[in-house]
Amino acid sequence: MNIILLGPPGAGKGTQASHLVETRNMIQLSTGDMLREAKDSGSEMGNKVAEVMARGDLVTDEIVIGLIREKLQGDKRGGFIFDGFPRTLAQADALRALLAEQGENLDAVIELRVDDDTLVQRIVNRAEEARAAGQPVRADDNAESVKQRLMEYYKKTSPLIGYYYAMGQLKSVDGLGEIDEVQAAIAAALDG
Ligand code: B4P
């Protein structure tokens, strides 16, 4: 089964993807994690994206499509969870072509619905918890960047909701409950 987790920043895509990895032996492909790894490695590409991410802007389609293309060549286990990818219509078209090349299909797109106030609160909480634990705070987990991340989401990513609805692949899930309640809602959407 290959699925997309779609939703605004802080909707819980990464949180829910980890649970699906544990329970369904799926492979999580998080473009956010891949880009943060590239940034931490100090590679040329990592240096190029660091500033873009810290501002809360989207990285270029070319870079993220390249990252995903590489990962699709490997082991497929219980299928792929695309976490935070695609984020633009161009990325969605590219994913369709890449899956077709591999003889794979997209089975479902889970849209996590969460209101803006809750999103901001979750991201601010994450920053505060990291600070309190003496851990590094994500460069984009601050009020200014979160505002920009939300603007990018509504402008460039939210059109994907209509795109996948038109293809009959969209399943909307309430992302507002406790983490285990959202897990149950996703399981019901995938198995129902
Ligand atoms: P991502 O890493 O994808 O980050 P995100 O959208 O902010 O987070 P996510 O929805 O996964 O939330 P999480 O589970 O962490 O992207 C970061 C940046 O990378 C982007 O802004 C962009 O610059 C770049 N990028 C990534 N992909 C790209 C692409 N395809 N194209 C271009 N650029 C790209 O949850 C957040 C917090 O909420 C956590 O602290 C969690 O514990 C908490 N939480 C989760 N679920 C909860 C619940 N049900 N109740 C209470 N708290 C909850």
DSSP structure class, residue 177: S
Every domain of the chain and the residues it spans: 2-114+160-191
Q: What is the pTM of this model?
A: 0.95
Q: Could you read off the pLDDT of 105-161 as tens digits, one per residue?
A: 999 999 999 999 999 999 999 999 999 999 999 999 999 999 999 999 999 999 999
Q: Residues comprising the binding site for AMP?
A: 31, 36, 57-59, 84-87, 91, 138, 149
Q: Could you read off the pLDDT of 51-81 as tens digits, one per residue?
A: 999 999 999 999 999 999 999 987 889 999 9
d(CA 151, CA 154) in angstroms, rounded, equals 5
Residue 105 φ then ψ, to 5° = -120, 165
Give pLDDT, residue 75: 82
Collapsing DSSP to helix, strand or coil, 160 comes out as: helix
Give, in words, the CATH class of 2-114+160-191: alpha beta
106 touches 5 (CB < 8 A): no
4 touches 106 (CB < 8 A): yes
Pocket of ligand 1 (CB under 6 A): 7, 9-15, 31-32, 35, 53, 56-59, 64, 84-85, 87, 91, 122, 126, 140, 149, 178-179, 182
Nearest atom, ligand 1, residue 122 CA: 38
Q: Residues comprising the binding site for ATP?
A: 10-15, 126, 177
Output the six-digit token pair for 170.
């969209």
